[in-house]
Structure 1
Amino acid sequence: MSDMLEMGRKVLASQPFSTLLGTQLTTFELGHAELQLPLRPDHLQQHGFAHGGVVSYLADNALTYAGGSVLNNVVTLEMKINYTRPAIGDRLIARAQVVSHGKTQAVCRCDVFVVAEGVETLCAAAQGTIVPVGGGAKTL
């Protein structure tokens, strides 16, 4: 495991909400991040698919990891998400990458897939602006 992935997993473990949901960081490298979330009944809304807030959370966190890979200690300044279909399946995968960055911000995009019977299907697409905070320590 890379030092960057190990550090990213420690940061994720320090996020109570991410721990509560069961989020897993599977890839964290310069300009790219992937988070996965096994879906549980308490992640679903009344129609039986993943709640939009859960999908949005995962996209936001993946965007922030991607931006953090180039800017260090960061937060999301803004984010937009388009839901493309109901997230019905066993797991969500959010793959984010840096589109462009400078010293004061990173623009990142993220595709969120739902996995059902081993097949990935796009269920949301997001874009966000990620900005550094604090002293820039490598803590996301």
Structure 2
Amino acid sequence: MNEYTMTDIQNRIQSSFNAQGLMQTLGARLLSAQEGEVQIELPFSTALSQQHGYAHAGAITSVVDSACGYAALTLAPAGHEVVTAEFKTNFTRPAIGERFIATGRVETAGKTMTVCRGDVVAISGDSRKVVALMQATIVNVKV
């Protein structure tokens, strides 16, 4: 892939990410966007915690869903946007960390839909633990 195309992908994803009110509300930021893979960072905040003090499953799911959706958008045909049609999230342990990195990766991309997998890693100091796994179906929508 040439540099111009990579820059175009990064700009497309960053522009769309900046337009998402939920990501702004959560305090999330786009870390990287490349063909077939996107990473989003979510800093821990007590405003996003559940009753036991862990990051809430809704916040964790939101960032990994967005990471998967944006990974799919990197491969979507010209003139198309994407929407999530379905996802399944497994939580492997409580979401305890200073920050969380959600990574979405394209497994297979077709003309009308893309299947992605995602994971969320909790980071505290030098510790890195997977706290969630996602499989998502993303649909291309002509705009």
TM-score, length basis structure 1: 0.91
Contact 2:13/2:74 (<8 A) preserved: no
- Percent same amino acid at aligned positions? 37
Among 79, 83, 89, the residue aligned to 2:87: 79
The two structures, once aligned, show a CA RMSD in angstroms of 1.3
Matching residue's letter, 1:101: A
SS at match of 1:62: helix
Instruction: Give 5+ residue unaligned stretches, structure 1.
Output: 136-140
Per-residue CA shift, 1:75-101, capped at 9, x if unaligned?
Answer: 000000000000111111011110011
Output the amino acid matched with 1:19.
Q
> Counterpart in 1 of 2:131?
123
Q: Secondary structure at the match of 1:92?
A: strand
1:138 alignment partner in structure 2: none
Q: Which amino acid aligns with 2:65?
A: D
- Measured against aligned partners, the alpha-carbon deviations of 1:31-55 in whole angstroms (never above 9, x if no partner) come to 1110111111101111010001011
Which region of structure 1 is more displaced relative to structure 2, 7-16 or 91-100?
A: 7-16
Give the C-alpha shift of residue 15 in structure 1.
0.9
Question: How do residues 26-105 of structure 1 correspond to structure 2 at under 5 angstroms?
Answer: 26-71=31-76, 72-105=80-113
Corresponding pairs, count: 135
Report deviation, 1:133: 1.3
Preserved CA contact (<8 Å) 2:36 2:71: yes
Amino acid at match of 1:80: K
Q: Any unmatched runs of 5+ in structure 2?
A: 1-5
